[in-house]
Structure 1
Amino acid sequence: MPLVDYSLDADGIATVYLNRSDVLNVLNPELMTEMKLLLSDLAENPEVRALVITGKGKGFCAGADLTAVDPETLERGRLGKWVSDSMLHHFNPMMIQIYEFPKPVISAINGIAAGGGAGLALCADLVIAARSAAIKVVQVPQLGIVADLGANWLLPRLSGRGRALGACLLGDTLDAQTLEQWGLVWECVDDDELLHKARERAVKLASVPANTITQTRRLIDSAAQSTFNDMLEQERLVQEELCDQDHFGQQVQRFLNRPER
């Protein structure tokens, strides 16, 4: 049985499922290796126009699989090096692939997204949560380590420094209503509507040129480090490129051809 499953529908929406439902889809090296290979294939597949990531079963992802730790590594006091190597070769490359995916990405949070699962859930361009969903950043209070999988970058940008620090330091469970109030997710929907709504949003994003999506992502994420004048210049250069796309030319032509003109 694959640890990562997926389907591709007629509209070009690839839905990727973390497929370890018996253990709340925790991330082990084997799952992440499958995920990286699948993401590479989907990124290059011209039939894929948008990506939805979700979890099988009752939860989205409960973070890292601590049972993957080699007992000998623990006994030798090399746990830090083992974790660092795992992040270098598995966790971080997978997250970079998702963040830099060349087509729109939606995460559909079903149930709990805990630990590293929180960063995975929040990394998408658009995040949709079921009403049963929750995020819990457990690393600091439970394990005495920092949050990871990009949570320290994502949380303050989405919810502000105060809420980000509180979420990381306290490890409180943030339910779907809180996630929506804090701006951590775009919308909350009934559980049985989650994948339908995610697909609906994916179809809408898929109608936009993929390069426009990725350039928007880049501009939004660079805004905090840019002055207003810098952003105006970045926007100008991006518009020069995007306005030469067929999509923009067709829309302008459609506007010019309106009967009322």
Structure 2
Amino acid sequence: MPRFITTHTAGRIGYLTFNRPEKLNAMNNQLLDEFSAEIAALGANPDISVIVISGNGRAFSVGFDVDPGNGGSDAASGLESYLDWESLRRNIQRWLAVWDTPKPVVSAIEGYCMGGATMLAVCTDITVVGEDAVIGWPAIPLGGGLLSPTTAWLIGPKKAKELSFIAGSRMSGAEAAALGWANYAVPAGTALKRAEALAQQIAKMPLDLLRLKKMALNRHMDQRGFREAILQGAEWDAVAHTAQGTHTMTQKIKELGLKGAIGWFHSEENA
């Protein structure tokens, strides 16, 4: 079975790469489980001071894989409410594990960063994006309260509401950096190179001090409610999955397929 996460090290830098390029690194259960195992291993490696996360191919990741035929994640499997909440919370905890990793994590984003992948990016410590990267929300409304409250911590509630209220919202990499979602926007194709340069500088800091610095900043954010706000996303999304509007969209997907449902939602018929 092919692996969907690859890792390697160079000096005191650990590299984790999404490696499902034919599916734009969509996150199915196998990929998610491999991710959790590998981020934990890199976090526990005393020879590694900083971790860089990137995606192979045309996308960082298009988020959770909603196609059961692709070994899709539990994100769209129509679970009973409690099990739905439990599944959503489990995946949020994967991202909080990055937040809690005892060393800095840098995300290098090229191409698409969509849906659940945006939550991962927020939970990394530093983000570098290609100027033409696409940071986006689902093209049709299937949930609520999961992505935008997380994003609001970086870009503020007004912009987060705009992105949440309009299906298929997008930010370019340049916009994301201007709004504070990313640290840097760089020419397309150079995000990983810039992330590596930052990681090399970070790796010069003694690891015990890096841990303390990250813990101090994260503790401040957690005291302001960051962790609870992200975890509450599972509750809001599970509730949203029971709403009539969500049922209408899932029925359209059954009738028309995903692409057809997207076309219907954005057509004059749905005006």
Alpha-carbon shift at residue 156 of structure 1 (Å): 1.6
CA distance in 2: counterparts of 1:7 and 1:92, whole angstroms = 25
Counterpart of 2:189 in structure 1 is 192
1:146 aligns with 2:144: yes
Counterpart of 1:172 in structure 2 is 169
Show CA shifts across 1:122-177 (max 9, x none). Answer: 22111100122121122xx61331153xx344322211110111112213211112
- Secondary structure at the counterpart of residue 180 of structure 1: helix
Show CA shifts across 1:187-220 (max 9, x none). Answer: 1112232111101111222223222332233244
Counterpart of 1:3 in structure 2 is 4
Per the alignment, do residues 200 and 64 of structure 1 end up closer, same or farther by CA in structure 2, a change over 3 Å counting? Answer: same
Counterpart of 1:46 in structure 2 is 46
Q: Does the 8 Å contact 2:136/2:171 carry over to 1? A: yes
CA distance in 2: counterparts of 1:194 and 1:78, whole angstroms = 38
Counterpart of 1:22 in structure 2 is 22
Output the amino acid matched with 1:184: W
- Secondary structure at the counterpart of residue 191 of structure 1: coil
Alpha-carbon shift at residue 224 of structure 1 (Å): 3.9
Alpha-carbon shift at residue 101 of structure 1 (Å): 0.6
Show CA shifts across 1:35-87 (max 9, x none). Answer: 1111121111111110111111000111111113899x9xx964655543432
CA distance in 1: counterparts of 2:120 and 2:200, whole angstroms = 22
1:162 aligns with 2:162: no
TM-score (norm 2): 0.72
Q: Which has the larger radius of gyration?
A: 1
Per the alignment, do residues 220 and 77 of structure 1 end up closer, same or farther by CA in structure 2, a change over 3 Å counting? Answer: closer
CA distance in 2: counterparts of 1:21 and 1:159, whole angstroms = 29
Q: Which residues of 2 match residues 102-251 of structure 1 at below 5 A?
A: 102-138=102-138, 142-148=140-146, 151-170=147-166, 171-208=168-205, 209-222=209-222, 224=224
Identity of aligned residues (%): 21
CA root-mean-square deviation: 2.4
Counterpart of 2:87 in structure 1 is 86
CA distance in 1: counterparts of 2:162 and 2:130, whole angstroms = 23
- Secondary structure at the counterpart of residue 5 of structure 1: strand
CA distance in 2: counterparts of 1:81 and 1:143, whole angstroms = 21
Output the amino acid matched with 1:145: G
CA distance in 2: counterparts of 1:177 and 1:163, whole angstroms = 15
Unmatched runs of 5 consecutive residues or more in structure 2: 226-271
TM-score (norm 1): 0.75
Per the alignment, do residues 26 and 79 of structure 1 end up closer, same or farther by CA in structure 2, a change over 3 Å counting? Answer: farther
CA distance in 1: counterparts of 2:50 and 2:126, whole angstroms = 11
CA distance in 1: counterparts of 2:137 and 2:78, whole angstroms = 25
CA distance in 2: counterparts of 1:219 and 1:81, whole angstroms = 30
CA distance in 2: counterparts of 1:65 and 1:77, whole angstroms = 14
Counterpart of 2:235 in structure 1 is none
Q: Does the 8 Å contact 2:52/2:105 carry over to 1? A: yes
CA distance in 2: counterparts of 1:19 and 1:147, whole angstroms = 29
Alpha-carbon shift at residue 98 of structure 1 (Å): 0.7
Q: Does the 8 Å contact 2:128/2:186 carry over to 1? A: yes
CA distance in 2: counterparts of 1:122 and 1:78, whole angstroms = 27
Q: Does the 8 Å contact 1:116/1:147 carry over to 2? A: no
How many residue pairs were aligned? 216
- Secondary structure at the counterpart of residue 192 of structure 1: coil
